[in-house]
Amino acid sequence: MNFTLGTAQLGLDYGIANSSGKPDKNSAFEILNQSVKSGVRYYDTAAAYGNSEEILGEFFSSHNSDVFIITKIPPVADRKSV
C-alpha cells in the first residue's frame, strides 16, 4: 500500500486546530525523516503551500531516498505554452 504525505502544514500555518503555526525547519525535517523510515514515498506539495517545496528540496537533496514529489501549479492562461 502506498501512502502520500501532504506537506501544506510544513510551509503554512495550516489546519483548523493548529494553534502553534508551522513547524520550524528541524521539526519539518524530523517529520520527513520519520515518514521516510515509515515507508512513505509520495509527497504532495504546491507553490501555494508556502515554502514546503523548498523544505522538501532541501531535505531530499541530502537523503538518498526513492521518492516522488507531486506538485501543483496555478492555472496557465495560455494552454499552448504547456
For residue range 18-72, what is the model confidence (pLDDT) as tens digits? 888 899 999 999 999 999 999 999 999 999 999 999 999 999 998 877 899 999 8
Cβ contacts of residue 33 below 8 Å, gap of 6+?
Answer: 59, 63
Q: Which amino acid is at 18?
A: N
Overall number of domains in the chain? 1
| pLDDT for position 79 | 65
pTM of the entire structure? 0.83
Q: What range defines the domain where residue 49 resides?
A: 4-81
Q: Which amino acid is at 61?
A: S
Q: How confident is the model at residue 81 (pLDDT cuts 50, 70, 90)?
A: low
For 11, phi then psi, to 5°, come to -120, -5
